[in-house]
Amino acid sequence: MNNDPAIEDIRRTRREISKRFGHDTKALIAHYEKLQKKYADRLVAAPSTVYVPSGADNGSTSRSA
């Protein structure tokens, strides 16, 4: 597997943030929720529905053995 410098930087940053909060999941969630509120104007809302193109196979077809 190739080491992508950008991915390694993201992982390093994630580890540093986790360490800063003592690897406490609840503290990390609180931190990220605070950031979401602080930067709400910069975030993109998730779509309320999933787009499925017309004519696309939605996985509902059954296959017999």
Along the 65 residues of the chain, how does pLDDT read in single tens digits? 678 999 999 999 999 999 999 999 999 999 999 999 999 999 888 888 888 888 866 565 555 54
Let me know if residue 31 belongs to a domain.
yes
Let me know if residue 23 belongs to a domain.
yes
Let me know if residue 63 belongs to a domain.
no
Distance CA 65, CA 55 (A): 25
Let me know if residue 58 belongs to a domain.
no
Let me know if residue 21 belongs to a domain.
yes
pTM of the model: 0.57
Whether 35 and 42 have beta carbons less than 8 Å apart is answered as no
Let me know if residue 24 belongs to a domain.
yes
Let me know if residue 22 belongs to a domain.
yes
Total domain count, the chain: 1
Look up the domain containing 25 and give its range: 5-40
